[in-house]
Amino acid sequence: MATAARLFMERPGGKVNGLPKRTACAPTRSISGEEAAGFVRSGMWLDYGVGLCQPDVFDKALAARKDALENVKIRSCLSMRPRAIAECDPEGTRFFLFSWHFSGYDRKRHDAGRCHYMPLNLGEVPDYYRRFLNPVDIAVLKSCPMDEGGSFNFSASNLWHRAVIERARMVIVEVSHSLPYVYGDENGVHASEVDYIIEGDDQPAPELPNPQPSEIDRAVARRIAAEIEDGACLQIGIGGMPNAVCALLVESGVRDLGVHTEMLTDGIVDLYKAGRITGLRKTLDPGKIVFTFALGSSYLYAAADRNADFCCKQVDYTNSPHIIMQNDRVVSINNTTQIDLQGQAASESDGHRHISGTGGQLQFVRGAYASKGGKSFICLASTYCKGGERRSRIVLNLTPGNIVTTPRSDVMYVVTEYGLVNLKGKSVAERALALISITHPDFREGLEREAYEHRLIPRGVSFG
């Protein structure tokens, strides 16, 4: 094994050059978190992976080296625990965080100027690493202990980790005995590709609170559930409304549902345990619940642990529209926070304040539409409160700075507690009238007046 001195050869000017990849014949060595953090040099790019795979022991050890480093850049996604490197450096003078999708913690760090978003379509990220990003200096990923085949399983978080490993000059795994072991294509890294192993602290896998659906969530869910047929293949997004749909489907008579989704949720596990999901009518991966990552409760992790019905695949498989469409009757259900009268859905920001991310919403909207008999639903509560004032989520113009997640040309069904409308094939005027019809009654008259004033709706025309 190369020594630290050999691993870090510096060019003139202090720039760190490549870390040589280990050979298959070299034994992988166990080291402490402090030893692993000692490999980091100023100016490096590190990768922490996604969700359950983000390291904790290494993160704390790296934070302890704060005063010896500067300009260390770290890519990650969906941080489920506070990151020690951010907490130890509140002014952001040493460590810089870049996220592919915000969790609640990442959002708070962004509000403090400590975390920066990278725009994407989630299913394209493996290609970004392979084609557009410079090599990762050090990848540090949490994993299950080495299995009988000599691999470290990525648990319920596959995504683009294979691409990160391909592009990493050094690969370190932080082993955790508390992660669920989840089956899936290339869901892991073989020991021959790993440079060092850190023994993790085995704290329980981070959980994502499962929001209880509100009455509005249930009202929206009832409209969507009525559109789901036997044999439909589901993509369920995060939040109270999609979970409410799952709860209603548990109680319904719908049969032989399939799942091809980005995120595995507690609601999907409920459907599975109720016998509603069989996957027998899927074209791709029949009988399998296909996903690329899971976040939820310990109940979810226990259900997926060594369960052959669950298959965790890479995100360029789960999220690519040309793959999604190969299953018939794909139903895509996602939230938005604001939609304008032409049908533009803004799902990831509040003006210039970034909230979450594009994720896979646009890719699943397109994949579902292209599927034979497919349907995509964008759902939202008709109103929200801000500063004690009730406001409409359906508006003439999006909030300045808001990011369009799903363009008007792609939006199919829009659902609020007041109704469900289809925008495909409709003119701008028809779209405006349809969306006004599912707005909260208190805002309909004002929106219609604005639509006429701005000529979205021509006068004297009757749409039959």
Sign of the C-alpha dihedral, residues 240, 243, 249, 250? negative
Catalytic residue list contains 262: yes
- Interhelix angle for 240-251 vs 266-273, to 10°? 10
C-alpha of 120 from chain center:
11
Q: Which helix (H) or strand (E) holds 141?
A: strand 136-143
Sorted by sequence, the CB contacts under 8 Å of residue 91 that are 6+ apart come out as none
Q: Beta-carbon neighbour count of residue 178 at 10 Å?
A: 16
Neighbours of 307 (CB within 10 A): 15
Phi-psi region of 364 (alpha: psi -120 to 50; beta: other; left: phi over 0): alpha
Evaluate the CA torsion angle 426, 432, 436, 438 in order and state its sign: positive
Contact 354, 399 (CB under 8 A): no
With 0-12 / 13-18 / 19 or more C-beta atoms within 10 angstroms meaning exposed / middle / buried, residue 34 is: middle
Under 8 Å between Cβ of 155 and 144: yes
Concatenating the DSSP letter of every residue in 327-344 gives SSSEEEEEE-SEEETT--
* Tokens standing for residue 78: 């969906």
> Which are the contacts of 413, defined by CB distance < 8 A and separation ≥ 6?
227, 375, 376, 377, 378, 420, 421, 422, 423
Q: In whole angstroms, what is the distance from residue 416 CA to residue 157 CA? A: 32
Q: Tell me which of 262, 348, 417, 448 is the catalytic residue.
A: 262
Neighbouring C-beta atoms of residue 424, cutoff 10 Å: 13
Measured distance CA(438)–CA(23) in Å, rounded: 61
What value, to the nearest 5°, has the Cα angle with vertex 280 and ends 374 and 296?
Answer: 75
Q: Which of 159, 127, 180 lies closest to 292, judged by CA?
A: 159
As a whole number of angstroms, the distance between CA 112 and CA 342 comes to 34
Q: Three-class SS of residue 423?
A: coil
Catalytic residue numbers, as ranges = 262
